[in-house]
Structure 1
Amino acid sequence: MTAFVDVSLFPRAAKPLTSYRPFWAKRFGTAPFLPMSRAEMEQLGWDSCDIVLVTGDAYVDHPSFGMAVIGRLLEAQGFRVGIIAQPDWQSAEPFKALGKPNLFWAVTAGNMDSMINRYTADRKIRSDDAYTPGAEGNRRPDRAAVVYSQRCREAYKDVPIVLGGIEGSLRRIAHYDYWSDKVRRSIVVDAKCDLLLYGNADRAIVEIAHRLAAREPVLSITDVRGTAFVRRTTPEGWFEVDSTSVDQPGRVEDHINPYQTTSEQAAAQGASCSAPNTTVSIADGAGPVSVGVQNDSKKVDGNTHKLNFVPNPSLAAKRKLPPQDRTVIRLPSYEQVRSDAVLYAHANRVMHLETNPGNARALVQAHGEGSIARDVWLNPPPIPLTTAEMDYVFDLPYARSPHPRYADERGRHDGATKIPAWEMIRFSIKIMRGCFGGCTF
């Protein structure tokens, strides 16, 4: 019987989450809930927040909700973290509720993509929202990640914006937007954020927070795995590789009808199921000669038979390639994928091929032409957490209930104040992170 192997013990080139020196504000201790108002900040003895989270969901302090995980993780690192949940996006004033963040904004549309949350597959507005008290709809804007980022910039334009969550992750390169039926630019360009964290952002958000706390400019933070950002040129020391070396775009083939026979499928593709004739007759009647045994080009009955040379696979492995950690793959530009379905599929496939944290390379995609040209740069995916690190994240002091702001006069979260998404997982045990469905939107 094969013994169980804990893969989390394998060596990884990643700094452990618990190895950072806590920020000085650690002395304030742990908050019962992350503050959502100035009054709560004063009760904790805070004069300001180091980091302000902005989310499209109601604040539930439970590890099933992304903003709670990020907030508690940053709090454990010693930072003072406040949260603005479901702000009124019509102006920038609600985004000033907790004052100016000392370090950065952390923006997310919420646990769900805001467009899926707000619209049905028929593009009709939903009447309810499972992540809002009372399931009330219309509490978040379309493309909330973009809108929230723009309002944060309007509120305090000199504060860095770090965008994350599923909405940003799925839109990190030029992508097809079902709701507008067109290819849109990377969300990094539309949201004008300083950094986009895609995938599980635990490692990235902790490293970025400590580096910004050390007064490192956000524009110089370009080497964190799992991040995307805009830059003008490829820096020196990097080897740029064309994406066609990873995947060769070709003609689009129709899906095969599963109800056709093999012969019918071959005929539909202009081929035949019959075995090819691999012998030729000798003119003097000496008998057939197999083409496969010819060791040079010979003319038989006026026909020339070519030799097919198969390269030695062992030699290909010996070719000198640029170092993987200094290689970036150039995807077709936004302008190209917008007008060519084949190149769009090609770019999407290359992005998915480069998602293994163990061997993925950086990606870059141009947006704009001429003087406005810029590149969206994607660093390789983050290194997964070890078992010990995952336990550390989920053992943080969550209140495991909605914020008291949402409670009724009896202090309960029932009836008009009930949050459906909270009720669904209230008595559940979390056994995994993420989704095993592999769906795409």
Structure 2
Amino acid sequence: MLNNKFLPVSKNDLKARGIDQLDFIIVTGDAYVDHPSFGTAIISRVLENEGFTVGIIAQPNWNNADDFKKLGKPKLGFLVNSGNIDSMVNHYTVARKKRHDDLYSPGGESGHRPDRAVIVYSNRVREAYKDVPVILGGIEASLRRFAHYDYWDNKVRRSILLDSKADLLIYGMGEKTVVQIANLLKYGMSIQKVTDVRGTVYLSNSLSQLRDFVEVPSFEEVSTNKNAYAESYKLEYFEQDAIRGKTVVQKHSDKYIIQNPPQFSLTEEEMDVVYNLPYTRNYHPMYEAKGGIPAIKEVKFSITSHRGCFGGCSFCALTFHQGRTIQNRSQKSIIDEATLLTSLDDFKGYIHDVGGPTANFRHKACKIQETAGVCKNRQCLSPTPCKNLIVDHKEYLSLLRQIRKIPGIKKVFIRSGIRYDYLVYDKNTDFFEELCKHHISGQLKVAPEHISDKVLKQMGKPKKEVYDKFSKKYFEINKKVKKNQFLVPYLMSSHPGSDLNAAVELAQYIKSMGYTPEQVQDFYPTPGSLSTTIYYTGIHPLTGEKVYVPREQKEKNMQRALMQFTVLENHRLVKEALIKAGREDLIGTDKKCLISSAPHKPRYSKNKTQKTESKNQRNTSKKFKR
């Protein structure tokens, strides 16, 4: 019988539950938070719901194998993940500097997990118990399943399955896959024979067992030839669809990494089951002495309404993890969760979010996807919307209206990101109007990312004119509903395709807004994204087009400084960048100029369309990092 107690984390917990030996032990790089925004919580609860016993070893001491033995030897296997974020992204900034905090650790302290956590943990498990199956999962394993460019080593690394010495890798979200594997192991199948489960990657000495597959260039090829790397990524990218995707093979020396086709999407009923499980919705009390786990604050009163994204942003790795197909929960399930939140002791009446990777995607992009899968050679939204795209917010609006009516709920915010182009394509403005009227607190954060069309093309984002149209409509609607609210755009520097001229173009646009962004993001080449492949190879893998890539730190600093040209400390870099770009006309006292010839404290008047970020924004900026 399920209950909403935390799963075992110690031998005392096992004794209290009358468990002699666990079926599975999950080793994770995050602190233990039993909330459905955390992968460990979901997988552990799903397995528990299927009758398996599960224990959690969170943030073990990796210097020896002792902590990996503290719950004993599991009957069926260890499940290993790095946490909700790749451990290298968690540890280092885009400038490769060590981060000072970790929101997924007690008190926000850093240093509670190793670099390349999946590899380290898996090898320690092997040291502790040589004969127990080790299965990898989570974002770090999922996005490193093939040979991949690693920004921190600045080289192509092997599949993480080889370096971790694990038996099997689960990619994607994993609920269906882990249950299928668990049942096979339960009925006595050897882990070495688990080779035909969708959503898994395994190692083989031979391809004789395969019939229909795509072989991509080998590790040896992609690690020495950038054209081969781009070709490999393209072939992998084309097969990440559950309906039409084929098995993908990549040779590593004398062995083969074999990726089975993606797992089929969860049905609405299956999604409801996952999110209706008895989570405690909090961090384990063992962290209370250090002030808890900061990451819970933003998500505790947030609701996941769906998964997947058909937005197609090049710098996002969702295609390789959650996929482009939307999987949604039923309205009843979401409304039941919202009602449950009102019963929690610390609920103050505010739902922080109802959304997913993109909040306003609540259904599949088109009817064709239901039977044929997503298109290989066509994005749903860029460069222009597909003629088959269904643009409709009515169901999402109906959901929000019902949540707003629940007794005890004062306000429902949408913070997981609105796809502004999809919103502006909707001729029915009801959702847009109610978004402005009910679901924003003074400002809406959106992500145009850039305004140079040549950069936007590489980003997979719509042209500048689409953002301008959205911005105009946003302020018109705010005026109509008598709201004085602002737009806060996310902007990115140094993305592939962005040279100094594009950065200057962006700076001029920022000047026209009368707004100095405090939050700017340098492009971060993380595993699994199309943009990372462009960054490494200088080639757009889907088109074969050669792309300019800013790689030198000096140029990256210049591009970032141009985005904040009003900051006095940036004057020297901005001036140097303008001279290098041949844009000395933007240095001087004319109204069009970005800076004067000599540094001085700039004077800026804020206009109606934008405002400097508030103190509250600065305090919450970490919540909105990509």
TM-score, structure 1 normalization: 0.70
Assess, with a 3 A threshold, how the Cα gap between structure 1 residues 34 and 49 changes in structure 2: closer, same or farther.
same
Match of 2:249 in 1: 364
- Residues of 2 paired with 1:336 and 1:402: CA distance? 45
Show CA shifts across 1:259-287 (max 9, x none).
xxxxxxxxxxxxxxxxxxxxxxxxxxxxx
In the alignment, structure 1 residue 382 sits paired with structure 2 residue 263:
yes
SS in 2 for 1:366: strand
Question: Quick one: which of 131, 141, 153 aligns to 2:104?
Answer: 131
Q: Which has the larger radius of gyration?
A: 1
Q: Which runs of 5+ in 1 are unaligned?
A: 1-27, 239-325, 409-415
Question: Quick one: which of 83, 86, 102 aligns to 2:75?
Answer: 102
- Residues of 2 paired with 1:399 and 1:434: CA distance? 25
Match of 1:35 in 2: 8
In the alignment, structure 1 residue 92 sits paired with structure 2 residue 95:
no
1:229 alignment partner AA:
Y
The higher relative CO (CA closer than 8 Å, separation ≥ 6) is in: 1
- Structure 1 moving runs of 4+ over 6 Å: none
Question: Quick one: which of 311, 335, 338 aligns to 2:220?
Answer: 335
Shift, 1:95, TM fit? 0.4
Show CA shifts across 1:234-267 (max 9, x none).
124x3xxxxxxxxxxxxxxxxxxxxxxxxxxxxx
1:362 alignment partner AA:
T
- Residues of 2 paired with 1:74 and 1:164: CA distance? 14
Shift, 1:330, TM fit? 1.1
SS in 1 for 2:26: strand
In the alignment, structure 1 residue 120 sits paired with structure 2 residue 5:
no
Question: Quick one: which of 245, 253, 273 aligns to 1:392?
Answer: 273
In the alignment, structure 1 residue 404 sits paired with structure 2 residue 377:
no
Match of 1:439 in 2: 316
Shift, 1:42, TM fit? 0.7
**Aligned pairs for 1:260-275 within 5 A:** none
1:389 alignment partner AA:
E
**Aligned pairs for 1:158-169 within 5 A:** 158-169=131-142
SS in 1 for 2:304: coil
Show CA shifts across 1:390-434 (max 9, x none).
0000001111111121123xxxxxxx4231110111222222336
Shift, 1:356, TM fit? 1.1
- Residues of 1 paired with 2:3 and 2:126: CA distance? 29
Match of 1:223 in 2: 196
- Residues of 1 paired with 2:204 and 2:212: CA distance? 16
**Aligned pairs for 1:163-312 within 5 A:** 163-236=136-209, 238=210
In the alignment, structure 1 residue 344 sits paired with structure 2 residue 225:
no
Match of 1:429 in 2: 303
TM-score, structure 2 normalization: 0.49
Match of 1:314 in 2: none
- Residues of 1 paired with 2:203 and 2:128: CA distance? 22
- Residues of 1 paired with 2:49 and 2:300: CA distance? 24
Contact kept in structure 2, 1:30 and 1:75, CA below 8 Å: no
- Residues of 1 paired with 2:53 and 2:303: CA distance? 29
**Aligned pairs for 1:43-62 within 5 A:** 43-62=16-35
CA RMSD of aligned residues (A): 1.3
In the alignment, structure 1 residue 418 sits paired with structure 2 residue 303:
no
Contact kept in structure 1, 2:29 and 2:81, CA below 8 Å: yes
- Residues of 2 paired with 1:195 and 1:65: CA distance? 21
Q: Percent identity?
A: 49
SS in 2 for 1:33: coil
1:232 alignment partner AA:
N
- Residues of 1 paired with 2:308 and 2:28: CA distance? 18
- Residues of 2 paired with 1:429 and 1:328: CA distance? 38
- Residues of 2 paired with 1:100 and 1:202: CA distance? 23
Contact kept in structure 2, 1:31 and 1:44, CA below 8 Å: no
Shift, 1:186, TM fit? 0.5
Question: Quick one: which of 105, 113, 116 aligns to 1:143?
Answer: 116
Shift, 1:29, TM fit? 4.8
Show CA shifts across 1:357-387 (max 9, x none).
110000111111xxxx100011001100000
